[in-house]
Amino acid sequence: MFQEINPAEVIETIFYVFLGLALLGISWKAIEWLTPFSLRKEIEEDQNMAIAVLIGSLFISVSLLIGAVILSS
């Protein structure tokens, strides 16, 4: 079972994981920069569930896009 693991594929997978996380972080910063109010304050302090669900769905959609781009390369 473990003989079939290619070290190059493991390194490539780790690279793409960090690339995806970096792109998600960049998208979070871009969304925060584009909104006229603090998203962190709205979600944490004001308990605004609508914004939390919106940001969660945005992260899911961005993750799907990043995954599709990585798989197509």
Q: How far apart are CA 3 and CA 6, in angstroms?
A: 8
> Is the pLDDT assigned to residue 2 strictly greater than 70?
no
Q: Which DSSP string corresponds to the chain? A: -GGG--HHHHHHHHHHHHHHHHHHHHHHHHHHHHSSS-HHHHHHTS--HHHHHHHHHHHHHHHHHHHHHHHH-
Per residue in 6-64, pLDDT (tens digit) is: 888 888 888 888 888 898 889 889 988 999 988 889 889 999 999 999 889 988 988 88
What does the pLDDT read at residue 40?
87
Binning pLDDT at 50, 70 and 90, where does residue 70 land? confident
